[in-house]
Structure 1
Amino acid sequence: MTEIKVKLMRSRIGTTPAQRKLLDSLGLKCREMVKTFKDTPAIRGIIAKVSHLVAVVD
């Protein structure tokens, strides 16, 4: 399975509680933090919900 890197580009300040829970589930706590995940539909769905806050990095 391929892996993707997700980077938190914008701050969590001003986000809704649901968006904060999604970021917590990804383990992204501070700006510019990068985490690696297996490319699954569940991870892609979480990224889609907070796409304005995160970026997929090569």
Structure 2
Amino acid sequence: MIKVKQIKSKIACKPDQVKTLEALGLRRINQVKEHDDNPVIRGMIYKVRHLVEVTES
């Protein structure tokens, strides 16, 4: 499992990045969601890596 935390605002981001954050379940700054560690989630995190912080749990 990995924890994904949104650390920056999605305002002024590209629409596909906003949708990726929503698909990860992140809607506001400092919100944390847990996901399984798989290539699909890793790809989503890579796309918005400048907006999120990832910790392994």
The TM tier, using the shorter chain, reads: over 0.9
CA distance in structure 2 between the partners assigned to 1:37 and 1:25 by the alignment: 11
| % identity of equivalent residues | 48
Structure 1: runs of 5 or more not aligned = none
CA distance in structure 2 between the partners assigned to 1:7 and 1:13 by the alignment: 16
User: CA offsets, 1:3-55, max 9 Å, x none?
Assistant: 00000000011111000110010010000000000000000000001000001
Give the count of matched residue pairs.
Answer: 56
Structure 1 residue 57 displacement after superposition? 2.4
CA distance in structure 2 between the partners assigned to 1:57 and 1:35 by the alignment: 11
CA distance in structure 2 between the partners assigned to 1:57 and 1:32 by the alignment: 13
CA distance in structure 2 between the partners assigned to 1:7 and 1:24 by the alignment: 12
Q: Which residue of 2 aligns with 1:39?
A: 37
CA distance in structure 1 between the partners assigned to 2:28 and 2:18 by the alignment: 11
Structure 2: runs of 5 or more not aligned = none
CA distance in structure 2 between the partners assigned to 1:46 and 1:57 by the alignment: 15
Q: Which residue of 2 aligns with 1:19?
A: 17
